[in-house]
Chain A
């Protein structure tokens, strides 16, 4: 099977990751489309025999970072700055589930690690390679991401209870 065919087979996985990464469906598919176009243009740089999936997710990561950088102030990308929820605010408020909201509020770097580990079930080494960060950083971001999501979910259920009491 050649690389282009394997890229096709990886589209659903790219879409799943993109959907979790940017929350709204159309933007997620825009990201996938940009990624595929870029991957195809750069396919000659892919080294046969290495992990195509990791390579493709690296391309997506870079495309995503560039897209975010193009539309947002730089400081948003800093590790501890919460990225604004990218989901459009109107209309679907009720449909936004607690978990999706919590994921959207994670700093971008932490979100990427959590999603690659959880959804893609990538090994920690592959995550490190994909995001071009040290292995230790993968573990610390994973730990922080999970703890933040846990606390946000706790906070949300506490807030929901308060509302009922009132």
Chain B
């Protein structure tokens, strides 16, 4: 079989699947005789797939409100009103404009109710365990791997204990709690001054929903809570400001959605 000459830019286009059938066949014949080159091009395709697998999930993330705001200035278009109404509704339901919901308004009300129950449970757990001096957790951070594996097993979902050193908190440890939908994982963090925040993680019966950050206050405990697919999260503290707690919640969210 005679070989048509193949040039590098054609190999690139082949890796991208952009050659017509004739040139594609020519490249394949050329590569068949050159295993090293074939492996190189195959690796380019694997890299492309991994790139897409890494970054495509960004497409499904809720768009932060500040980005919607950026487009609002002089132009007025129909959706502006819808978005604004919808946002006011979120705020009325006790939400804080952290992330924008990718949800219809109809879905918001029951979700908020279910979430509010979770926030309340989380606040109670926080108030119960965070003042503990000798027994704040069942398993300490020195056995973090064991802790995470144990809680993941009991919840039936892969969990992670976010690393919050960047916002000044380190893991104390965690425990298992009873919850409405089954076992709940409870992680405790502490800053250098001894202030504690706790992260309450439960499995979501409804699954595959995402909500914005919402804020609730139970007694003196502040809670930011949200749902991300199969897991519901609530971050509580009695001792730091709403803004500071929001920063920590943000860090948790980012760590869990790298």
Q: Is B50 an interface residue (CB 8 A)?
A: yes
CB distance from A47 to the nearest CB of B (A): 17
Contacts of A104 in B (CB 8 A): none
Contacts of A146 in B (CB 8 A): 12, 15, 44, 47
The secondary-structure label for the interface of chain A is helix
Bound form: Cα–Cα A137–B90 in Å:
48
Q: Is B63 an interface residue (CB 8 A)?
A: yes
Q: Is A86 an interface residue (CB 8 A)?
A: no
A139 adjacent to B43 (CB under 8 Å): no
Bound form: Cα–Cα A62–B68 in Å:
21
Contacts of A153 in B (CB 8 A): 43, 47
User: Within the complex, which residue of A40, A100, A118, A142 is in contact with B74, where a contact is CB–CB below 8 Å?
Assistant: A40
Contacts of B58 in A (CB 8 A): 12, 15-16, 19
Q: Is A50 an interface residue (CB 8 A)?
A: no
A16 adjacent to B59 (CB under 8 Å): yes
CB distance from A12 to the nearest CB of B (A): 5
Determine which residue in B8, B48, B55 has the highest number of CB atoms from chain A within 10 A of its CB, and name it. B55
Given contacts A25-B254, A88-B166, A92-B163, contact A33 B51 (CB under 8 A): no
Bound form: Cα–Cα A44–B61 in Å:
30
Given contacts A5-B79, A15-B61, contact A150 B43 (CB under 8 A): yes
User: Within the complex, which residue of A15, A103, A149 is in contact with B63, where a contact is CB–CB below 8 Å?
Assistant: A15
User: Within the complex, which residue of A8, A19, A99 is in contact with B68, where a contact is CB–CB below 8 Å?
Assistant: A8
CB distance from B110 to the nearest CB of A (A): 26
Which B residue sits closest to A150, measured CB to CB? B43
Bound form: Cα–Cα A147–B258 in Å:
26
A20 adjacent to B67 (CB under 8 Å): no
Contacts of B56 in A (CB 8 A): 16, 119
Between A and B, how many residue pairs show CB distances below 8 Å?
A: 107
The secondary-structure label for the interface of chain B is helix
CB distance from A81 to the nearest CB of B (A): 22
Given contacts A117-B16, A118-B52, A146-B12, contact A8 B74 (CB under 8 A): no
Contacts of B12 in A (CB 8 A): 139, 142-143, 146
Contacts of A15 in B (CB 8 A): 58-59, 61, 63, 67
Within residues 104 to 139 of chain A, which ones have a CB less than 8 A from any CB in chain B?
114-115, 117-119, 123-124, 139
Contacts of B61 in A (CB 8 A): 12, 15
Within residues 38 to 82 of chain A, which ones have a CB less than 8 A from any CB in chain B?
40, 43
Q: Is A159 an interface residue (CB 8 A)?
A: no
Q: Is B195 an interface residue (CB 8 A)?
A: no
CB distance from B193 to the nearest CB of A (A): 19
Which A residue sits closest to B83, measured CB to CB? A8
Bound form: Cα–Cα A90–B170 in Å:
13
B255 adjacent to A16 (CB under 8 Å): no
Closest 10 pairs between A and B when the two form their complex, measured CB to CB: A36-B70, A91-B166, A16-B58, A139-B9, A4-B75, A12-B59, A118-B48, A4-B77, A146-B44, A20-B55
A/B interface sample: 24 pairs, CB < 8 A: A4-B71, A5-B77, A7-B71, A8-B79, A12-B59, A12-B63, A37-B70, A40-B70, A40-B71, A40-B75, A90-B165, A90-B166, A91-B166, A92-B258, A99-B47, A99-B50, A99-B51, A117-B16, A118-B52, A143-B9, A143-B11, A147-B40, A150-B40, A153-B47
Q: 4 more A-B contacts (CB under 8 A) besides A4-B71, A90-B165, A143-B9?
A: A11-B63, A15-B67, A29-B67, A118-B51
